[in-house]
Amino acid sequence: MVTPIDPTATGFLLAENRTMPMHVGGLQLFAKPEDAGRGYVRELYEHMRSYDSLDEIAPLFLKHPHRSARTAGQLVWEIDELFDIDHHVRHSALPKPGRIRELLDLVSRLHGTRLAWERPLWEAHLIEGLRDGRVAMYTKTHHALVDGVSAMRLLASVLSTDPDKRDMPAPWASKPGAKAERERRDAERRGSDLATQALRGALGITAEAAGMPGALVRTLRRGIRNETSSLSLYAPRTIFNQPITGARRFAADDWALDRLRGISKATGTTMNDVVLAMCSGALRTYLLELDALPDTGMVAMVPVGLNAKQSHLASTDGGNAVGSVMVKLATELADPEERLKTIHASMRDGKQALASMTPAQILAMSAIGQAPAILTPMLKMSGLVRPPYNVVISNVPGPRTTHYFNGAKLLGTYPLSIPINGMALNITCTSYDDKMCFGLTGCRRTVPHLQRLLGHLDDEVKALEKVAGTYL
């Protein structure tokens, strides 16, 4: 069976090369249920791989890109008739001593390996061997199949808030029950969770962006060059804005939402401002240690959800869309309080400016954020004197209650994203339960000792708490 590939997916497939694998990932940490026997992880794995016939797997997880004379050289989706679940669902273990460090090493390595086009574009690795007994799952899905947010949603769609619920299907199952459950949850979300819904709608936007007419591209280029738009800033050159290699480093950690909320309330800023201030302070310390901090402040590209009225845009999900705000990170300032204030003001200005932009401008700005890999060659960004921004920082709201997969409690969920040439570091956060989970994905060579950013993020939370304390 052969089906056409939409322009966005084609864009992600064609943009991919050895140094830029185009898959998103998710790392989930679970606690075993209390009644787990010795064979629990193996049984979970056997359950995950028990979907081995074509009709038990959802079509999304069966198709692979194919190009041949028969398809006149066009890329098409083809069902993998030789689908082999054991290639996609794997049971792994960590070397001793089984710390989070060994887990992140393994996940970094897995995330740095391209998915072979000759098979469906996904993998799921169930990982045991953490010395504290936790179990990890790393999933990898090509951006041509889903965007990062949808991938995290898909993983979450099979979770339950009921710890006693077992026999839950794997995310790739096509079982009617699973589908019904997913649809019910989709409906729930449509009612309750506009911001993430907005991000999901972004896929619709990028489809238009990939086929964006020349006039729009010109608008966008003017915007980036700061000729017209107050949103665009000159960003300094940093080590992050270089060509990258295919090697990846992933680092992840989480912080209590209560701590971030405390800072936000005491300082009159938003949670998102606090997240950006954490990143700003951590990046400043990191670059100072490397003697690579630019004199002028760094700029982050931050995707934000827009409501229908703001966006004036039709999208696949009924009027919600994503805009991008260029935020001053104030990394040139030593005082965490000043940084937070500057970020708060810059974010507020950016959102206001976004509200006054024309739909075409918003579309163009959104496109930079959602499909940089596609747009970079189109815009010939490399020909610009400076990068339009230094780093992408996304903050995606997630579920605020505890979830379980077949009795295993989900402790945290950390997104892995796609570094591209000129944008070697990506920071994506997602809230889950009572935590803010950070996932940092970088090129291992371009961003040395990436894991140090975790310590710096932690220091920054403390510094911001001190600031907030004086505000109280």
Task: Kindly state the smallest distance separating residue 112's Cβ from a second copy, in Å.
Answer: 7
Helix, strand or coil for residue 428?
strand
Beta strand residue intervals within 241-353, DSSP E: 248-256, 299-306, 321-328
Work out the number of other CB atoms within 10 angstroms of the CB of residue 95. Answer: 10
143 catalytic, yes or no? yes
Pair 63, 83: CB distance under 8 Å? no
With respect to a second copy, which residue has the nearer C-beta, 114 or 222?
114
With respect to a second copy, which residue has the nearer C-beta, 134 or 182?
134
Helix, strand or coil for residue 462?
helix
- Residue of 88, 125, 142, 143 with catalytic role: 143
Q: DSSP character for 54? A: G
Q: DSSP character for 136? A: E
Task: Kindly state the smallest distance separating residue 408's Cβ from a second copy, in Å.
Answer: 16
With respect to a second copy, which residue has the nearer C-beta, 18 or 309?
18
How far is residue 384 CA from its own chain's centroid? 26
Q: Which two three-digit tokens encode residue 383?
A: 């020909």
Task: Kindly state the smallest distance separating residue 58's Cβ from a second copy, in Å.
Answer: 21
How far is residue 343 CA from its own chain's centroid? 21
Task: Kindly state the smallest distance separating residue 170's Cβ from a second copy, in Å.
Answer: 18
Task: Kindly state the smallest distance separating residue 130's Cβ from a second copy, in Å.
Answer: 11
Task: Kindly state the smallest distance separating residue 253's Cβ from a second copy, in Å.
Answer: 22
- Classify each residue of 373-384 as buried b or exposed e, where b means 16 or more C-beta atoms within 10 Å of its C-beta: bbbbebbebeee
Q: How would you classify the pairing of strands 404-405 and 248-256?
A: unpaired
Exposed / middle / buried, residue 189 (Cβ in 10 Å: 0-12, 13-18, 19+): middle
With respect to a second copy, which residue has the nearer C-beta, 90 or 175?
90
Q: Which two three-digit tokens encode residue 323?
A: 């805009």
With respect to a second copy, which residue has the nearer C-beta, 119 or 348?
119
Locate tokens 């920082």: which residue?
393
State which H helix or E strand residue 439 sits in.
strand 435-443
Pair 235, 390: CB distance under 8 Å? yes
Q: Which two three-digit tokens encode residue 5?
A: 């590939």
Task: Kindly state the smallest distance separating residue 410's Cβ from a second copy, in Å.
Answer: 21
Exposed / middle / buried, residue 317 (Cβ in 10 Å: 0-12, 13-18, 19+): middle
Task: Please give, one letter per residue, the 3-state secondary structure of 117-169.
Answer: CCCCCEEEEEEECCCCCCEEEEEEEECCCCCHHHHHHHHHHCCECCCCCCCCC
With respect to a second copy, which residue has the nearer C-beta, 96 or 309?
96
Cis ω on the peptide bond leading into residue 377 (within 30° of 0)? no
Residues that bind a second copy (CB under 8 A): 17-19, 38, 41-42, 45, 82, 84, 86-87, 90-96, 105, 109, 112-114, 116, 118-119, 128-129, 245-247, 444-445
With respect to a second copy, which residue has the nearer C-beta, 114 or 452?
114
Annotated catalytic residues are 143
